Amino acid sequence: MKRKRSFSGIWVVLVAALALEAISCLMYFSSRAAIRHEAEQRAKTELRKADLEIEVHAIEMETAAKTLAAMVERNLEYPDAVYASTRLAISVLRQNTSMAVAFVPDYYPEKGYFYEVCSSRISEDSIFTRQIGSAEHDYTRMEWYQNGFVHDSCWWCEPYLDNAGARTYVVSCSCPVYDRDSNVVAVVCIDMSLDYLQGLSEFLQVYANSYYSIQSSTGQNIVSAPDTAAGRKYNIYEREIAATGWHIEIIIPEEELFRDLNHIGRIVGVLMLLGLALLILIVWYAGRSNRQLIRSTEQNERMESELNIARNIQMAMLPTRFPPFPDFPNLNAYGMVLPAKEVGGDLFDFYIRENKLFFCIGDVSGKGVPAALVMAVTHSLFRSCTSYMDSPAQIVTLMNDSQAGEANNQNMFVTLFLGILDLRTGELCYCNAGHDAPILLAASCRPLPAKPNLPLGVLAGFTYEEQQAQLAVGDTLFLYTDGLTEAENSAHELYGEKRMNECLEKNAQLMPGELVAAMQKSVAAFVGEAQQSDDLTMFAIRMLNASPAAGHTSTDSSTHFTLIMRNDIKQIPTLAEWIDTLGLPQDLNMPINLALEEAVSNVMLYAYPGQSGQVLVEADKSAEQIVFTITDSGVPFDPTQQEEPDITQSAEDRPIGGLGIFLVRQIMNEVRYERKENKNILTLTKKI
């Protein structure tokens, strides 16, 4: 009888072994199919990202080339003006190494047979401009130059080594320059470094050992991939870049896709054999009592897996795309959440509706799964209420009523800060529900005035108050939860508001992503090896550009426009956007833009040596003329007293400086300077 029962137990083990083997095989092949599908989707996604990055950059380059060509065409009678034009054009681009204008041989006899002016970016803040045309550098033989006479618009050449301009391997975009008789007299060339394209590996390196390549429209390698080995299987995904006609490929070895799966399969196989052996011993010696232990172990593993799934679901609810809004260049935002446990109760969220940024940050009382559930409800309420309401106070009131009273059986509450930022005017309307006041990084680092009100879920029917503030260009709003200031080190010391403010002031000029990273690094250095005690969330918003519709008033005879900028040369693109709002005639927009950029750049670079300051640009427009007034509180400096440069001299013989104010005088009808009330006032008048 005992022998029969023993054989029955063995048969149960064998049947279980076969069933496990069948399930394992099914899971293995299902996993292979899922991994292959995920790899394909991931590769296509990354290809789209790289395509967008290259296409945006290519269009930016083509626009810059056409703009530079237009500037040169308007100043053909001034051969030296091309120096400032190329320098200005490259200063507003992000990645390019050099730009050049190559004239038809002997076009300017006084400049020599070859005349090619090139501006190269030496560093982020340094640009080197010089004349590189010579018999040794015969640009007329270059592919980009020759095609400038064939194509009437922008054209991309094959890769080549640029020894004279960028001094690296590049692909170039060229554009013709016409004289008044529609003859091509020069070719504009703008370089895209192959080092930049090589850097796209951060988008395309979807697996550790995957490859990528970029080919030109004729099949020539721009970025080449290693040779594939015979006998190995590869998954190849490609996409065409419409702007340039190039092709991008991602090549993933077959074994790379399933490396982890095969490794886990081998481990699982060994573990299954060991488990079966152990199961036989358990069935043989321990019997029914030990099976309960196995079920308990499986339940614990399932609970851990479910917690991990819950964490992934919770993190997926939060924003993950940064920079988040490529269609809104006047806004940059970044945020992050670090839960103290598998799941947490902190949240932040934001989105744009009708040119307004709706955003919030919150902290649920408690930790773990209950806090995570309340967090999910709060997140859902924020999205739902803001979809049709525009008043922060009304939104917060509705969210509070939904979470208070009988709906809050666990007596949990949520501190929340909710804001609505008008991206056209910079006006911020907000309501605080018991949360820490955000920090406004403007001229100084200070808390945003915020009435505390009650947290959500404490008292149903509570009336919340909203407030207003104004964000200017360059201002950053930093929001956080108390997990930042209450972070503890091993000695149980708090990080505190003082350390936070010092770190914010030190990094106030950084973009939101860099600012949050710097703050995270500072907290990590303070905490050290101590265990995280509370959820930590940080979120930053930065206004980059002035609103095109803001800053002007009208009278009966003229219209007055204003723009306030900090002495940061990176804000120069904001000036061009502001000029576009003045409604100037088409033929005046470009030269006035050039003149103002020269004048404002001069103030930003020299008016405030070693310190921060502001530049006020005003415009009074009437039917006959437009008058620009540039005011700063910097050191006294009269640019009109500079001697005019001798443009008949070569660039090598002419002293540095003076060309900018010369261009301003050539463009404007009147240039006047005065020092009044410790301020520099430069007035530029242009007849319309």
118: enclosing H helix or E strand: strand 116-123
Q: Which tokens hold the place of 209? A: 């050992």
Q: Select from 525, 593, 449, 487 the least CA-distant residue to 85.
A: 593
**What is the DSSP code (8-state) at residue 494?**
B
Q: Does 282 map to a domain?
A: no
Instruction: Give ∠ CA 290-292-297 in degrees, rounded to 5.
Output: 100
Q: Does 481 map to a domain?
A: yes
| Helix/strand/coil percent split, the chain, to 5 | 40, 25, 35
Q: What percent of the chain has pLDDT over 90?
A: 29
Residue with tokens 């970016």: 121
470-480 pLDDT, tens digit each: 888 889 999 99
The mean pLDDT value of the chain amounts to: 82
Q: Does 265 map to a domain?
A: no
Same domain, 578 and 449: no
Same domain, 215 and 336: no
Q: Does 9 map to a domain?
A: no
- The whole-number average pLDDT for the span 204-216 is 70
Q: Does 622 map to a domain?
A: yes
Q: Does 226 map to a domain?
A: yes
Position 271 scores a pLDDT of: 81
- Which pLDDT band holds residue 371 (cuts at 50, 70, 90)? confident
Position 4 scores a pLDDT of: 47
Position 408 scores a pLDDT of: 66
Same domain, 575 and 531: no
Given 543, 565, 598, which residue is the final one in a domain?
Answer: 543
Of 234-248, 424-438, 515-529, the one with minimum mean pLDDT is: 234-248
Position 653 scores a pLDDT of: 47
Kindly report the CATH number assigned to the domain that includes residue 102.
Answer: 3.30.450.20
Q: Which tokens hold the place of 327? A: 């269609």
Question: Cis omega before residue 339 (within 30°)?
Answer: no
Same domain, 330 and 445: yes
d(CA 177, CA 116): 13
Given 237, 254, 271, which residue is the final one in a domain?
Answer: 254
Position 341 scores a pLDDT of: 76
pLDDT at 114 over 80: yes
Position 367 scores a pLDDT of: 75
521-572 pLDDT, tens digit each: 999 999 998 888 788 999 999 987 644 434 444 555 678 887 878 788 877 8
Q: Which tokens hold the place of 533? A: 């005690």
Please report, for the chain, how many H helices and E strands are present, in that order: 16, 27
Q: Does 17 map to a domain?
A: no
Position 175 scores a pLDDT of: 92
Same domain, 243 and 381: no
Task: Please check whether residue 359 is in contact with residue 575, taking contact to mean a CB–CB distance below 8 angstroms.
Answer: no
Position 519 scores a pLDDT of: 94
| Higher-confidence position of 431 and 285 | 431
Residue 138 has a CB neighbour count (10 Å cut-off) of 14
- Which pLDDT band holds residue 146 (cuts at 50, 70, 90)? confident
**What is the DSSP code (8-state) at residue 434?**
B
Q: What percent of the chain has pLDDT over 70?
A: 85
- The whole-number average pLDDT for the span 665-687 is 92
Which strands make up the sheet holding 346-353, listed edge to edge? 346-353, 356-364, 414-422, 427-433, 466-470
Same domain, 352 and 306: no
Contacts for 375 with CB less than 8 Å, ≥ 6 apart: 314, 344, 345, 346, 347, 362, 364, 414
Task: Please check whether residue 93 is in contact with residue 178, taking contact to mean a CB–CB distance below 8 angstroms.
Answer: no
Domain span including residue 296 = 287-312
Kindly report the CATH number assigned to the domain that includes residue 586.
Answer: 3.30.565.10
The number of distinct structural domains making up the chain is 4
pLDDT at 128 over 80: yes
d(CA 610, CA 634): 11
Residue 687 has a CB neighbour count (10 Å cut-off) of 10
- Which pLDDT band holds residue 208 (cuts at 50, 70, 90)? low
Same domain, 73 and 117: yes
Same domain, 574 and 486: no
536-543 and 331-338 strand pairing: antiparallel
Beta strand residue intervals within 384-470, DSSP E:
414-422, 427-433, 439-441, 445-447, 466-470
What is the DSSP code string of 353-386? ETTEEEEEEEEESS-HHHHHHHHHHHHHHHHHHH
pLDDT at 646 over 60: no
Same domain, 308 and 331: no
Same domain, 623 and 659: yes
- Which pLDDT band holds residue 514 (cuts at 50, 70, 90)? very high
161-194 pLDDT, tens digit each: 777 666 777 888 899 999 998 899 999 999 887 7
Same domain, 667 and 575: yes
Q: Does 280 map to a domain?
A: no
d(CA 416, CA 393): 12
536: enclosing H helix or E strand: strand 536-543
618: enclosing H helix or E strand: strand 614-621
pTM: 0.43
Same domain, 526 and 556: no
Position 15 scores a pLDDT of: 76
Kindly report the CATH number assigned to the domain that includes residue 379.
Answer: 3.60.40.10
